[in-house]
Structure 1
Amino acid sequence: MSKILSDISLSAVVAGFVAVLIGFASSVAIVFQAAEAAGADEAMKISWIMALGIGMGATCFALSWYYKAPVITAWSTPGAALLATSLNGASYAESLAVFMFAGALALLLGITGLFDRMMRWIPLPIACAMLVGVLFNFGVAIFTSLESSPWLVMIMLLAYLVSKLIIPRYAVIIVLLAGLLMVLIEPNTDFSSIPLSVGTLQWVTPEWNTSLILGVGVPLFIVTLTSQNIPGVAVMRASHYQTPVSNIISWTGFSTVLLAPFGGFAFNLAAITAAICSGDECHKEASKRYIAGLSAGVFYAIAGLAGASVVGLFAVFPAAMIAALAGIALLGTIGANLKAAFDSDAYREPALITFLTTVSGVSFLGVASAFWGICFGLLVLMIQRIKND
Structure 2
Amino acid sequence: MKLQKIYINGRFLTHPVTGVQRYAIEVLRSLDAMVGERDAAVAGCEFVVLAPKGDIRDIGLRHIPIKQSGRGAGHAWEQLSLPALCADGFLLSLCNTGPMTKRRQAVTMHDAAVYAAPDTYSFAFRAWYKVLQRVLGMNAKGVLTCSAFSRAQLTQHFGIAERKIKTIYHGREHILRIKADETVFERHGLARPYVLAVSSMSPNKNFASVAKAIELMGDVGFDIVIAGGSSKIFKPAGGRIGGEVKTLGYVTDEELRALYDRASCFVFPSFYEGFGFPALEAMSCGCPVVASDAASIPEVCRDAVLYCDPRDPADIAAKIRRIMEDDGLRTQLRERGLARAGNFSWDKCARETLDAVRPHLAAAAAAYVPERERGWSR
TM-score strictly above 0.5? no
Normalization by structure 1: what TM-score? 0.22
- Pair member with larger Rg: 2
Q: Which has the higher contact order (CA 8 A, sep 6+)?
A: 1
Normalization by structure 2: what TM-score? 0.23
